Structure 1
């Protein structure tokens, strides 16, 4: 890792086997623009806006490795039948001057039977405190199938022209839930010590690397901490990162926080849009959100660069991969700060939803500031089509599958 080396954020930069036009990445924000699990013109237009706006690489999210792995409506299913549409997606990003990454994941305990049609799985039997769904313990046979499905999905991404894959090992999705002693109570080789709880992540990573070789960059999205007592914190997440980094198969870690199971605002910070969340629910669940929503989601004040302090803990541990800083990056000074502190890249989510052309504006003004106010009204738009309430919704284009 190029620790403590200042980078020019707006010049081309190497990430494993690929070169980005600059060091900015559109972070994964589940789009809801794929009602049949396929690429649509609305999805292409949504992402092309970020590339045309100056972002070096955009992340297609969320790409489920199997139908059972969906986390929300309107997500991509990463299977070979969808390659024609995926190729159109990557071609559009390349034609616009940028690169494309595919976020691959399995929702695990975050999944909902109303979406997948099957009971969610977790490392151990687990009651999701937000969805009230009881997850069953995943079997070893199913674990082996999951590893193969991740490799299959990565190969689909490579064959579709993607430049990178982002393996979603965060937010208490399936792989992340194995890392959490709060959820993982297994007594076999996938439970107990942090080495054992990291085993699934390592086996998936090595299977993906073996399948795609150097055809694309491999990014790991890893939770540093999730704000839940007895779950993931820095003492163990740094050890997980070290184990994965030592394989030599990781090109970059995108460091994140929080969970999609409980205390979700630990990831987002700032205002909690309880009314917006309530509108996504029905009947007694809508009332429950209004009465107990803030207690379940948590209340965490927003501050700029709020993941930086934790992300620094990885700089002396990671020897091979680069680090991508996420969280509260909203203006040119924040990007420059990340470069000065030795991070290889920055990832922006809400700031780009608010202004798809933000990067073009910032690179011409080193004091430029973004307009995102972190109201988080975009947070629950994932149940329809993810968008900023102050910005044109690109989903007005065709929602027909390609």
Structure 2
């Protein structure tokens, strides 16, 4: 264990102290209720990880805008205040075992299924999130502003519900990723083209969240550091994009890939364990 001598030592990020470096990353469970509420079975699933000694648990992506931003029929929601009490029950149970709770917030964008959301999905442009996927419509500037505010209000609800930090999902072909990536973003206005322009929507979200949650509340950002797809962001591209986001991000959750390179997002079995550590090191 000498190689990993820090793994059981605490780490402090702003006002968040995590007892060790063992972090459970966000993974979909399909345990949420039909209306996006958290159920007892779901709470027990996370509570078992807290009992096992996990330092911090990043709870799977919760929808900030329903139904248009929905990622599934069994996805948690945090787009309304009525979801706060159930989520507070979750954070209380995790805290009881010494684990910190972090909530990932998300909008599916073009990855939302039209048949499920009852309308055409939205994105940066009219490019599907995967080959053969539904064609989305480009968001207006007013919709971009309104959606950024929805992220901010969702983050505030997470804070009220007892979460110790919030994580913005900006990777894996979801809405923010669809603005960051040249694979999807074909806009010619201030939200498209250059690194700075493609980062503008994400920067706006971070700014609005910070205004809602205050200076000392940690903000995590999950990214696809290398999209591993022709025409997509390389690791070097992402490092340039992050220059526009560093002002407000406290922790980067470094992942990889898009929907059409999903074998590197949800690792194919032949990939070596820890193969993408170089991306985290670069970030």
Smaller-chain TM-score range? over 0.9
Paired residues in the alignment total 277
Work out whether 1:266 is the aligned partner of 2:261: no
Question: Per the alignment, in what secondary structure is the counterpart of residue 188 of structure 1?
Answer: coil
CA distance in 1, matches of 2:201, 2:130: 24
* Partner residue in 1 for 2:280: 311
CA distance in 2, matches of 1:176, 1:44: 29
* Partner residue in 2 for 1:56: 55
The superposition leaves residues 157-178 of structure 1 with CA deviations (integer Å, 9 ceiling, x where unpaired) of 0000000100001112111111
Question: Per the alignment, in what secondary structure is the counterpart of residue 261 of structure 2?
Answer: coil
Question: Per the alignment, in what secondary structure is the counterpart of residue 190 of structure 2?
Answer: coil
Q: Which runs of 4+ in 1 moved over 6 A?
A: none
CA distance in 1, matches of 2:128, 2:64: 23
* Partner residue in 2 for 1:10: 8
Matches within 5 A, 1:169-208: 169-208=170-209
Matches within 5 A, 1:274-353: 301-314=270-283
CA distance in 1, matches of 2:5, 2:138: 45
Question: Per the alignment, in what secondary structure is the counterpart of residue 10 of structure 1?
Answer: coil
Residue 7 of structure 1, CA deviation = 6.3
Contact 1:31 1:62 in 2 (8 A): no
CA distance in 2, matches of 1:98, 1:21: 8
Work out whether 1:238 is the aligned partner of 2:239: yes
* Partner residue in 1 for 2:93: 92
The superposition leaves residues 257-306 of structure 1 with CA deviations (integer Å, 9 ceiling, x where unpaired) of 012x32211112224xxxxxxxxxxxxxxxxxxxxxxxxxxxxx310111
The superposition leaves residues 117-154 of structure 1 with CA deviations (integer Å, 9 ceiling, x where unpaired) of 22111111113444531111111111011110000000
The superposition leaves residues 218-273 of structure 1 with CA deviations (integer Å, 9 ceiling, x where unpaired) of 1011111122110121121001222211x2x21111111012x32211112224xx
Contact 2:14 2:216 in 1 (8 A): no
CA distance in 2, matches of 1:216, 1:96: 21
TM-score w.r.t. the length of structure 2 is: 0.94
> What runs of 5+ residues in structure 2 fail to find an aligned partner?
none
The alpha-carbon distance between structure 1 residues 149 and 98, as it changes in their structure 2 partners (threshold 3 A), is same
* Partner residue in 2 for 1:213: 214
TM-score w.r.t. the length of structure 1 is: 0.67
Question: Per the alignment, in what secondary structure is the counterpart of residue 187 of structure 2?
Answer: coil
Residue 215 of structure 1, CA deviation = 5.5
Higher RCO (C-alpha 8 Å, min separation 6): 1
Question: Per the alignment, in what secondary structure is the counterpart of residue 265 of structure 2?
Answer: helix
Work out whether 1:19 is the aligned partner of 2:17: yes
Contact 1:112 1:120 in 2 (8 A): yes
Residue 182 of structure 1, CA deviation = 1.3
CA distance in 2, matches of 1:51, 1:86: 15
Contact 2:129 2:184 in 1 (8 A): no
The alpha-carbon distance between structure 1 residues 131 and 49, as it changes in their structure 2 partners (threshold 3 A), is farther
* Partner residue in 1 for 2:103: 102
CA distance in 1, matches of 2:167, 2:108: 14
RMSD value, Cα: 1.5
Contact 2:128 2:184 in 1 (8 A): no
Larger radius of gyration: 1
Matches within 5 A, 1:340-379: none
* Partner residue in 2 for 1:146: 147
Work out whether 1:166 is the aligned partner of 2:167: yes
The alpha-carbon distance between structure 1 residues 95 and 255, as it changes in their structure 2 partners (threshold 3 A), is same
The alpha-carbon distance between structure 1 residues 44 and 172, as it changes in their structure 2 partners (threshold 3 A), is same
Matches within 5 A, 1:378-397: none
* Partner residue in 2 for 1:76: 76
Question: Per the alignment, in what secondary structure is the counterpart of residue 72 of structure 1?
Answer: coil
Farther off after superposition, 9-18 or 187-196: 9-18
